[in-house]
Amino acid sequence: MHIPGAREAPIAPQADDTAAARADDAGMPTTTNIIETHGVTKRFGARAAVIDLNLTVPRGSAFGFLGHNGAGKTTLIRMLLGLTQADAGTMTISGRPVPEERAQVLARVGAMVEEPHFHRHLTGRENLRVIAAARGPEAAGRIDGALGRVGLTDRADDRVKTYSQGMRQRLGVARCLLADPALLILDEPMNGLDPGGILEFRTMIGELTGEGRTVFLSSHLLDEVEKTCHAAAVIDRGRIIAQGPISELLQDEHNEIDIGCDDRHAALDLLDGHPAVAAAYPTPDGIRVTLTGTEGAAAVNARLVTEGILVSRLEPVHESLEQRFLEMTSRVGGAA
């Protein structure tokens, strides 16, 4: 079982992956990017929900789609699935235009948009039968496997109204799996899950991408995206403001280092005016220094040590995705 627990853990997309092979079997084009949008715009009255949106999702990856509530994440997903129409722009899934060829395209797409809904008076298995009927005869044969995969076999014949939130989320994933999907679109799938449920979900996403499927994960849980996804896009107020591999999104642009030392005030005095230091300020366990260039940490260290400051730790600052996200999105930037 593959569990992506860190940034480097997710598997890089492969051109000859399993999903691509399955796509070949289904007669679908095996393009490098499974989702591409160009200039997509959607307005609700005077309000623009999505503006000139250009997005590229590589095949076979777990792709995070980040944004605040109301940023436009679900609107884009709804347009991709043909649930609502775009006002402008073009979209393709597996190289085919949507919504023009949505019937062929969505036959291999599993989607869970916002909170999964079910007929509450039906059992889990019956709910899957309802969707399988719309998908086609082969989908009905996948019901037992899908239920087993999400760990709901024992509760499959209970009515959905007796399910917990986590069970409904898992049943939503089972519903997606009926398509044997090359692409899963999961919109806020971890909403309302407890830590155990989130871990289960993360494991499941890792397994799915391990099989070569693409998982498009919309979320505002940044920590989860960082742990789960290979690449991500950040949407803010309807516009994509950054996209790429997680490692690139997290690239440190500030050349900051944290220094652990025995006398913070003396250290700050010594570094004041140092040519390698652009700024420095105290932290609870030392000082944080912003360097003027990529080199300079050694010079700073030498300066402190030669003046008798005991340096116990010196390490580059790695920002979390959450920090980068907050820096990038205008809402917080405006407030700062």
Number of residues engaging other proteins in binding (CB under 8 A)? 35
Give me the half-sphere count of Cα atoms (radius 13 Å) on the Cβ side of residue 316. Answer: 16
Structure tokens at 169: 């989320």
Quote the CA–CA distance of 8 and 19 in Å, as a whole number.
21
Quote the CA–CA distance of 223 and 257 in Å, as a whole number.
22
155 binds other proteins (CB under 8 A): no
Q: Which stretch binds other proteins (CB under 8 A): 48-56, 106-114, 258-266, 285-293?
A: 106-114
Is residue 7 exposed (0-12), middle (13-18) or buried (19+ Cβ within 10 Å)? middle
For other proteins, the closer CB: 22 or 78: 78
Is residue 8 exposed (0-12), middle (13-18) or buried (19+ Cβ within 10 Å)? exposed
Report which of 69, 61, 90, 17 is spatially closest to residue 229, judged by C-alpha positions: 61
Which residues inside 135-154 make contact with other proteins, applying CB under 8 A? 135-137, 140
Say if residue 282 is preceded by a cis peptide, omega within 30 of 0: no
120 binds other proteins (CB under 8 A): yes
Question: Tokens 């049943």 label which residue?
Answer: 171
Q: Could you say which of 76, 105, 182, 232 contacts other proteins (CB under 8 A)?
A: 105
83 binds other proteins (CB under 8 A): yes
Q: Which stretch binds other proteins (CB under 8 A): 13-21, 56-64, 120-128, 262-270?
A: 120-128
Q: Which stretch binds other proteins (CB under 8 A): 101-109, 296-304, 317-325, 328-336?
A: 101-109
26 binds other proteins (CB under 8 A): no
Structure tokens at 61: 């990856």
Secondary structure class of 186 (helix, strand, coil)? strand
**Shortest spacing between CB 119 and other proteins, in angstroms:** 5
For other proteins, the closer CB: 38 or 159: 159
For other proteins, the closer CB: 103 or 305: 103
For other proteins, the closer CB: 16 or 25: 25
Quote the CA–CA distance of 189 and 133 in Å, as a whole number.
24
103 binds other proteins (CB under 8 A): yes
- The residue ranges that bind other proteins (CB under 8 A) are 78, 81-84, 102-107, 109, 111, 113, 116-122, 126-127, 129-137, 140, 175, 179
